Amino acid sequence: MSECAVLHVKGRVLVGPEDVRDELWVVGGRIAYERPAGARDVRTVEGWVLPGLVDAHCHVGLGPDGPVDAATAEKQALGDRELGALLLRDAGSPSDTRWVDDREDLPRIIRAGRHIARTRRYIRNFAHEIEPGDLVPYVAREARRGDGWVKLVGDWIDRDLGDLAACWPRDAAAAAIAEAHRLGARVTAHCFAETALRDLVEAGIDCVEHATGLTDDLIPLFAERNVAIVPTLVNIATFPHLADGGEARYPRWSAHMRRLHERRYDTVRNAHDAGVPVYVGTDAGGTLPHGLVAAEVAELVTAGLTPVAALTATAWGARAWLGRPGLDEGAPADLVVYESDPRADVRVLAAPRRVVLRGNVVQ
């Protein structure tokens, strides 16, 4: 091998929850576990090392009023990078963010295309708003546009009912999910309430976002079908504020939102304890700022997950679920270095010592 500059990362490298090594080397932007022959200009970083964190529910390119310009989207992605979130599953965005893939200094994005919602049943300017008869062709369109995911809005407030209600008949959802699967895409759905969950799971859905309506009688079905949930607890924390704002016009909806909020930790803990896969997502974009991954991991611990389980939901397990490598030999060197062991205290995630993206120290 010819002489090359390398990065030497030493300390405690958490290849897995129990697979701990003393060092790794970064050569040509990729991970190696043996010192390369001819290494020169060796730069050393020390600490506790995790694979680049995953935010499995965020929205790069989306603001409170819909799509944002490239400069704003860049700031969003940099906000995630700053906290070590180097792999993002963009769970719906009206913006074209493919240009991000050409930037070596920005996190990788796995896109779900644009949200697909029922007419007048979602936030204005966010989604394609259609009727059930058009669901299959729109799902096919977004399956081709995305990176292996499609995002449905499974429930939203029904103004006539004055409360959350399911958006799609079961047969329409089943046909659309089958079409996505035929095209090689998985399907996830925004769901706050209880009413849409059984139909979506029995229709073949792969994941549910938020899942605040998940009840004890439905949890075994989720576990049996291996349907993942991404709780976005930092977003669910806003429910009381939303309920206060809607109290005068939709008191039934407001009361429902408060109940969902009150039981949020029990919902997540019971699902995890039953074997339902749980992953970290923040719902950043829209109204929430980017860079909340550490706060979401802390929320999962508050809900009752062990620190290792919460870290798995943003590191090793989340990367495997999304089909991306962790700290594997030959993998892209996306990693985060911390002062102390995050398995002992996940709060250390809020202050990374170094962030390494594709072999480059960016923080």
Look at residue 67 and tell me whether its pLDDT is greater than 60.
Answer: yes
Q: What is the pLDDT of residues 77-97, one digit of tens each?
A: 999 999 999 999 999 999 999
What per-residue confidence (pLDDT) applies to 38? 73
Query: How far is CA 216 from each of CA 23, 78, 287, rounded to the nearest angstrom?
Result: 44, 39, 31
Q: Spell out the CATH class of 53-321.
A: alpha beta
Look at residue 3 and tell me whether its pLDDT is greater than 90.
Answer: no
Look at residue 2 and tell me whether its pLDDT is greater than 60.
Answer: no
Report how far residue 197's alpha carbon sits from residue 154's, in angstroms, rounded to the nearest whole number. 8
Mean pLDDT of the chain: 96
What per-residue confidence (pLDDT) applies to 43? 85
Model confidence at 39, pLDDT cuts 50, 70, 90, reads confident
Single out the residue of 272, 175, 190, 265 nearest to residue 223, CA to CA.
Answer: 272
pLDDT (mean) for 121-150: 97
Look at residue 1 and tell me whether its pLDDT is greater than 80.
Answer: no
Higher pLDDT, residue 2 or 177? 177
Model confidence at 221, pLDDT cuts 50, 70, 90, reads very high
Single out the residue of 132, 141, 113, 116 nearest to residue 173, CA to CA.
Answer: 132
Report how far residue 5's alpha carbon sits from residue 8's, in angstroms, rounded to the nearest whole number. 10
pLDDT (mean) for 177-195: 98
Instruction: Compute φ and ψ for 138, nearest 5 degrees.
Output: -70, -35
What per-residue confidence (pLDDT) applies to 36? 87
Sorted by where each begins, the domain ranges of the chain are: 4-50+326-361, 53-321
97 with 109: CB under 8 angstroms? yes
What's the N-to-C CA distance of the chain in angstroms?
29
105 with 126: CB under 8 angstroms? no
Q: Spell out the CATH class of 4-50+326-361.
A: mainly beta
What per-residue confidence (pLDDT) applies to 4? 58
Model confidence at 41, pLDDT cuts 50, 70, 90, reads low
What per-residue confidence (pLDDT) applies to 42? 74
Model confidence at 9, pLDDT cuts 50, 70, 90, reads very high
What per-residue confidence (pLDDT) applies to 5? 73
What per-residue confidence (pLDDT) applies to 17? 96
Q: What is the pLDDT of residues 230-287, one digit of tens each?
A: 999 999 999 999 999 999 999 999 999 999 999 999 999 999 999 999 999 999 999 9
